[in-house]
């Protein structure tokens, strides 16, 4: 079945450490996204990518970095510069992005990141 796979499900970060969250999709979607969700809050966009080798900052990109070397993969690195990284991280994809028609996003099951 096609879908989005995020790993790991739970991740712990030590002070000063960078950690990388994996996101893989086999839906053949061009666009991919990373969101952060805090308890009782909505989803906030960290980074997005409309096509391979291109990505753009979202609303809360500081302290995060991404790469898009392959269409199916969009890993997110939470750097030591992100002082409050504890959150639920969701990866999503859609067929394409900059289109006036509906482009529903398909989400992975998320990674829960905590500070040790």
Partner 1 sequence: GQSLEQPSEVTAVEGAIVQINCTYQTSGFYGLSWYQQHDGGAPTFLSYNGLDGLEETGRFSSFLSRSDSYGYLLLQELQMKDSASYFCAVRGAGSARQLTFGSGTQLTVLP
Q: How far is the CB of 92 from partner 1 (least distance, A)?
A: 8
Alpha helices for 1-116 (secondary structure H) = none
Q: How far is the CB of 76 from partner 1 (least distance, A)?
A: 16
Residues near partner 1, by CB under 8 A: 33, 35, 40-45, 48, 50, 56, 58, 88, 90, 92, 97-110, 112
Contact call for residues 22 and 6 (beta carbons, < 8 A): yes
Name which of 1 and 15 has its Cβ closer to partner 1.
1
Contact call for residues 35 and 45 (beta carbons, < 8 A): yes
């Amino acid at each position: 079945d096609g879908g989005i796979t995020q790993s790991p499900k739970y991740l712990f970060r030590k002070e000063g450490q960078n950690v990388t969250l994996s996101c893989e999709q086999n839906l053949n979607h061009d666009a991919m996204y990373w969101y952060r969700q805090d308890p009782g809050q909505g989803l906030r966009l960290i980074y997005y990518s409309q096509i391979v080798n291109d990505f753009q900052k979202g609303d809360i990109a500081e302290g995060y970095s991404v790469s898009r070397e392959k269409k199916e993969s969009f890993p997110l690195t939470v750097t030591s510069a992100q002082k409050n990284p504890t959150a639920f991280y969701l990866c999503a994809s859609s067929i394409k992005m900059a289109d006036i028609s509906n482009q529903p996003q398909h989400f992975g099951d998320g990674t829960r990141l905590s500070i040790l």
